[in-house]
Amino acid sequence: MAGKGRGIAAFTFNIEALGLTRGSMPETQRGPTPLFPQIEYKPGPLKAGEDEDYMRALKQEMRGRMKDLPFNIKPHAGKGDTNRKAKISSKDKEELLNKLDENDYIANYFEDGDDYGGGSDDNMDEATY
Amino acid sequence: MTAQEVRLCGLLLQEHFGDVVEKVGTHLIRSGVLTLRALAYETKLALDLVKKSLCVLVQHGMCTFGAGRRGPAGPVEYRINCEHILHMLRYPRYIYTAKSLYGDTGELIVEEILQRGQMTMSSTVKTVADRLTHNMPEGQSMDYSEVVSAFSRLVETHFLQRCPPMASAGSSSSEAVDTPIPALSQPAEPESHPECYKLPYINLTGQGKRRRSSEDGEDDQRAAKKAKTDNSECGDEGIYWQVNFQRFHLHFRDQAIISAVSCKLDQTSSEIVRTMLRMSEVTTPAHAAFTQALSANECKQSGIKALIVFHQIFRALPPSYNIARPILDQYLTLLVDDPMEFVGKTGDSGGGMYVVNLHRALANLARATLESVVQERFGSRSARIFRLLLRKRHLEQKQVEDFAMVPAKEAKDMLYTLLSENLVQLQLTSCPPPDYFCNTATRRLLEKSQRIEAILASLQATGAETAQLTEVEEMITAPERQQLESLRHHINKYYTNRLDSSENQVDETIFLLESYINSTQASR
């Protein structure tokens, strides 16, 4: 049923019966809606001053401090392993380092160009020619 | 409670007390009233974790308990106090106010009590004296008596109050039988307790101790624990103090009015209003003012605050304001004539009888706030339309066009926009997307540092040695560390700091609007 007219979108309902016209349709989506709404007028600046800075610092300090107080209830960690000491073997360390380098970036994006790094010759062990 | 408020409460609980308390708290908010067992069952959390969370919430006045539906013989039920949770947003403002009124000592007293929910006077004094001593030059220390004096002033001016006494549920003495747990539906009002502002006699002399070791966090806890166990020696055990939020809110409200007068008129006018507000402070209850001269009904309807006679104002002005009587008279006339209606004149006896119109003042402040919000979000023309609507209440679209002097199509669009937005809703819209400033190399570095931090955290949790921790830390090279540091600085400067400051300032606006709403409900 759809697409009877070539290249013209056909609706599965009778558009005139609803009292609508083709022209009143909203625009087709061209991608996901933006994460933050577009605003026409930028908001005014925040109040800035000694008082505001001090209160902001108080807020940040409190946030940090309250995490260390006994009121911050931690969920149960695994049972009975609070005293087990972790040992990092050299094998584990290598594994860790490899894990850190795992990513899907194209490696040569990070390469420096050939002309890069014609830097200082100080503190070089080797002689320069 | 709106969905947003519930969500905000959850976030605040999580930020201050962690995920477990957040889960318990949020569930209680949504369910209303629950017993301990029901709460544990429904949240699927271990019973002891739920107990601890409830203790934390009760300690901070964010949860009350009482006899449940089955009466005193049945299980105790718990109810959340959402207002108290939302007050956490305002902690910096409470602390800073205490600082402005009572100096560093006052500041630390309020900060300690806020962080711990409730404290005895003696343990507060010791903890604060220690903290102040820590910041003093070597050889000096803060005497307990100074801290006691600041504490006393805070109590006398009602910024601190005794916690309402709990029924002794756990005691096995015969007294417990006679003091049943009150029904949950009637939570104890602190001010219903006659000794609410009575200072206990404490036997406490000495000075703050200077800490020697470098770990501040541990010492705080150790000092607090020690202070707690030393309570019984001082004579005030069992007497706990909490911050009186209502009193601070009164102060904020007065400040808002005073600063509005100062902006609109001048400093001297605002000092006069401040004097008037202060004069009526201790004698009048929060929402209404009742005087001997006027009938109670009249006062209630117009929401006035204490009737103050001209001579009283003159005598009560701060000595630095050397105003002659006729000049004071002129200032008062100006205040009375001002359209903001902060001050009203109700009689001529005694040189003139004046009142501060609290409700009127709050209404005007709220209106000004709304107008300014509309102006910022929708522009000055929309603001003009909005102001019109506020004044005229009902206007047809044609009338709007005419009065606001705005062309028809624009008026139609603007009206529709204003309508479709909920006009009393305030939203932060200035936050840009979080990582638009990041290029891929920076992002890789950030991810690496996050993974290292996670590894470090899990190693620390399982008790790794310092040497091993250092090994892991060194996986980030020095130049990488520098880059991370400057990135963190950039984030803090442009995002974190502004977001945190915005939180504080949005709360100020919310407070104004809430005060207005509360004053309309009280005057009914």
Q: How far is A94 from chain B (nearest CA, A)?
A: 11
Report, as an integer, the average pLDDT of A14-35. 73
* Domains present along chain B, CATH in parentheses: 3-80 (1.10.10.10), 83-166+193-206+237-243 (1.10.10.10), 247-295+305-356 (1.10.10.10), 360-427+498-523 (1.10.10.10)
Does A33 contact B at CB distance below 8 Å?
Answer: no
pLDDT over threshold 90, residue B490: no
Chain A residues near residue B376 by CB distance under 8 angstroms: 41, 43-44
The helix or strand, by DSSP H or E, that contains position B446, with its residue range, turns out to be helix B440-461
* Cα B335 to Cα B313: distance, rounded to the nearest angstrom: 14
Question: CB–CB of B54/B63 below 8 Å?
Answer: yes
The angle formed by the CA atoms of residues B342, B93 and A47, to the nearest 5 degrees, is 75
Neighbours of A70 (CB within 10 A): 11
Write the pLDDT tens digit of every residue in B297-321: 344 444 444 567 777 778 778 778 7
Report, as an integer, the average pLDDT of A98-105. 65
Is A75 within 8 Å of B49 when comparing Cβ atoms? yes
Is B505 within 8 Å of A46 when comparing Cβ atoms? yes
Report the range of poorest mean pLDDT among A74-78, B52-56, B213-217. B213-217
Residues 6+ apart with CB under 8 A from B214: none
**Which residue of chain B is at minimal alpha-carbon distance from A88?**
B468
| Residue predicted with more confidence, A9 or B322 | B322
pLDDT over threshold 80, residue B203: yes
Question: CB–CB of B472/B456 below 8 Å?
Answer: yes
Of A36, A37, A77, the CB nearest to B461: A77
Of A58, A59, A85, the CB nearest to B465: A85
* Cα B244 to Cα B264: distance, rounded to the nearest angstrom: 31
Dump the DSSP string for B34-78.
Answer: EEHHHHHHHHT--HHHHHHHHHHHHHTTSEEEEEETTEEEEEEEE
Interface test with B, best of A53, A58, A101 (most B CBs within 10 A): A58
Query: Across the A/B interface, how many CB contacts are shorter than 8 Å?
Result: 143
Q: Which of A26-40, B81-95, B207-221, B412-426 has the highest mean pLDDT?
A: B81-95
Is B20 within 8 Å of A43 when comparing Cβ atoms? no
pLDDT over threshold 60, residue A45: yes
pLDDT tier for residue B296 given thresholds of 50, 70 and 90: very low
Helix pair angle (B3-31, A50-68), 10° resolution: 30
The angle formed by the CA atoms of residues B264, B270 and B272, to the nearest 5 degrees, is 140
pLDDT over threshold 70, residue B15: yes
Amino acid occupying residue A13 = F
Is A43 within 8 Å of B376 when comparing Cβ atoms? yes
Report, as an integer, the average pLDDT of B473-491. 80
* Cα B249 to Cα B408: distance, rounded to the nearest angstrom: 44
* Cα B240 to Cα B230: distance, rounded to the nearest angstrom: 15
Of B16, B96, B447, the CB nearest to A58: B96
CA atoms within 13 A on the CB side of A37: 8
Residues 6+ apart with CB under 8 A from B382: B374, B375, B414, B417, B418
Chain A residues near residue B220 by CB distance under 8 angstroms: 65, 68
Chain A residues near residue B21 by CB distance under 8 angstroms: 71-73
Report the range of poorest mean pLDDT among B121-135, B357-371, B486-500. B486-500
- Confidence (pLDDT) at B427: 29
Of B96, B496, B498, the CB nearest to A46: B498
**Which residue of chain A is at minimal alpha-carbon distance from B469?**
A88
Q: Fill in the DSSP letter of residue A116.
A: T
- Confidence (pLDDT) at B335: 92
| Residue predicted with more confidence, A103 or B254 | B254
Does A66 contact B at CB distance below 8 Å?
Answer: yes
Write the pLDDT tens digit of every residue in B348-371: 877 788 888 888 888 889 888 888
**Which residue of chain A is at minimal alpha-carbon distance from B502?**
A46
Alpha-carbon separation of residue B258 from B69, B285, B356 (angstroms): 47, 19, 11
Is B451 within 8 Å of A100 when comparing Cβ atoms? yes
Alpha carbon B225 to its chain centroid, in Å, reads 27
Does A40 contact B at CB distance below 8 Å?
Answer: yes
- ipTM of the complex as predicted: 0.75
Task: State both tokens at B358.
Answer: 């609290």
Does A17 contact B at CB distance below 8 Å?
Answer: no
Is A86 within 8 Å of B464 when comparing Cβ atoms? yes
Q: What's the whole-model pTM score?
A: 0.73
- Return mean pLDDT, chain A: 69
* Cα B118 to Cα B265: distance, rounded to the nearest angstrom: 42
Of A59, A83, A86, the CB nearest to B500: A59
Is B504 within 8 Å of A93 when comparing Cβ atoms? no
Does A8 contact B at CB distance below 8 Å?
Answer: no
* DSSP β-ladder status, B119-120 and B304-309: unpaired
Backbone angles phi, psi at B460, to 5 degrees: -60, -40
The angle formed by the CA atoms of residues A4, A6 and A7, to the nearest 5 degrees, is 115
Q: Which of A100-114, B216-230, B404-418 has the highest mean pLDDT?
A: B404-418
* Cα B237 to Cα B169: distance, rounded to the nearest angstrom: 17
| Residue predicted with more confidence, B493 or A127 | B493
Report, as an integer, the average pLDDT of A18-41. 73
> Between residues 94 and 113 of chain A, which touch chain B (CB distance below 8 Å)?
96-97, 99-100, 103, 105, 109-110
Question: CB–CB of A121/A128 below 8 Å?
Answer: yes
pLDDT over threshold 80, residue B146: yes
Tokens 């039988």, residue located? B177
Chain B residues near residue A84 by CB distance under 8 angstroms: 462-463
Is B221 within 8 Å of A51 when comparing Cβ atoms? no
Is A39 within 8 Å of B431 when comparing Cβ atoms? no
Does A79 contact B at CB distance below 8 Å?
Answer: no
pLDDT over threshold 80, residue B80: yes
* Cα B83 to Cα B128: distance, rounded to the nearest angstrom: 27
Amino acid occupying residue B274 = R
- Return mean pLDDT, chain B: 79
| Residue predicted with more confidence, A81 or B142 | B142
Q: Domain residues of chain A, as ranges? A: 48-74
Interface test with A, best of B225, B458, B462 (most A CBs within 10 A): B462
* Cα B292 to Cα B77: distance, rounded to the nearest angstrom: 44
Question: CB–CB of B325/B285 below 8 Å?
Answer: no
Chain A residues near residue B475 by CB distance under 8 angstroms: 96-97, 100
Write the pLDDT tens digit of every residue in B81-116: 999 999 999 999 999 999 999 999 999 999 999 999
Alpha carbon B480 to its chain centroid, in Å, reads 41
* Cα B155 to Cα A125: distance, rounded to the nearest angstrom: 71
Q: How far is B522 from chain A (nearest CA, A)?
A: 31
Question: CB–CB of B130/B225 below 8 Å?
Answer: no
Q: How far is B58 from chain A (nearest CA, A)?
A: 11
Report, as an integer, the average pLDDT of B3-15. 92
Selection from B12, B4, B2 nearest residue B428 by Cα: B4
β-pair partners for B68: B71
- Confidence (pLDDT) at A2: 47
* Cα A50 to Cα B370: distance, rounded to the nearest angstrom: 26
